């Protein structure tokens, strides 16, 4: 009986771990509000960052906090050609934070509708991670960060990791 109970608990534990599809991102629960936070939680993002993803070189440049927001720009270069850009902002909103972005093709034509943005409300802040709904910023050290984001495509949803080193 005890052996069966232990086996069941072990099986349930493995199933719970297996059902956590995205280990580095969090989602807001239904009716959950974003916690109180300000830009001090993410000011370490300011700077010029470079890494590799999607078969190319990725780059992000973030401004220091000013006017209640931080401004960011992303680009992906594959085979020495621009693949796409993003304009990003982390803003203080209603006593919390929101991460917003818009995608642009290499000719700067927008992917989203004119007034639409992709919004990631804040879920949780820890000393080295800031969790937005489906996107996580992680400070590894002063010269390295990781960004995890859930991306949806024809094959379903996947978690993509972007590892960046500070450009000096």
Tokens representing residue 44 in the block: 């370490």
SS3 94: coil
pLDDT of 9 above 70? no
The C-alpha torsion from 86 through 89 and 60 to 110, rounded to 10°, is: 10
Q: Which domain covers residue 133, as residue numbers?
A: 24-166
SS3 45: helix
Tokens representing residue 156 in the block: 């379903």
In a domain, 144, yes or no: yes
> Torsion-angle region of residue 96: left (phi > 0), alpha (psi -120 to 50) or beta?
beta
Q: Residue 101: which of 57, 149, 48 has the closest Cα?
A: 149
Please give the biggest Cα pair distance in the chain: 66
In a domain, 10, yes or no: no
pLDDT of 15 above 80? no
In a domain, 141, yes or no: yes
- Cβ partners under 8 Å of residue 130, min gap 6: 37, 41, 42, 97, 122, 124, 136, 137
Residue 20: what pLDDT? Answer: 55
In angstroms, the CA 109 to CA 89 distance is 19
CA 134, distance to chain mean position in Å, is 6
In a domain, 82, yes or no: yes
In a domain, 4, yes or no: no
- Residues 108-158 have pLDDT tens digits of 999 999 999 999 999 999 999 999 999 999 999 999 999 999 998 888 889
In a domain, 6, yes or no: no
How many domains does one find in the chain? 1
pLDDT of 75 above 60? yes
pLDDT of 21 above 50? yes
Q: Residue 122: which of 68, 42, 60 has the closest Cα?
A: 42
Tokens representing residue 135 in the block: 């996107």
In a domain, 44, yes or no: yes
pTM: 0.86
* CATH number of the domain that residue 111 is part of: 2.40.128
In a domain, 15, yes or no: no
pLDDT of 16 above 50? no
């Amino acid at each position: 009986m005890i052996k069966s109970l232990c086996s069941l608990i072990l099986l349930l534990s493995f199933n719970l771990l297996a059902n956590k599809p995205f280990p580095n991102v969090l989602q807001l629960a239904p009716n959950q509000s974003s916690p109180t936070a300000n830009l001090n939680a993410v000011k370490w993002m300011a700077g010029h960052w470079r890494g590799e993803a999607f078969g190319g070189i990725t780059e992000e440049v973030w401004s220091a906090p000013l006017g209640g927001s931080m401004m960011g720009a992303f680009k992906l270069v594959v085979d020495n050609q621009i693949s796409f850009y993003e304009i990003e902002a982390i803003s203080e909103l209603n006593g919390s934070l929101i991460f917003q972005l818009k995608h642009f093709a290499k000719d700067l034509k927008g992917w989203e509708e004119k007034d639409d943005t992709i919004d990631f409300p804040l879920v949780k802040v820890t000393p080295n991670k800031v969790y937005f709904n489906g996107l996580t910023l992680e400070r590894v050290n002063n010269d390295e960060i990781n960004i995890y984001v859930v991306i949806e495509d024809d094959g379903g949803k996947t978690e993509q990791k972007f590892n960046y080193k500070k450009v000096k």
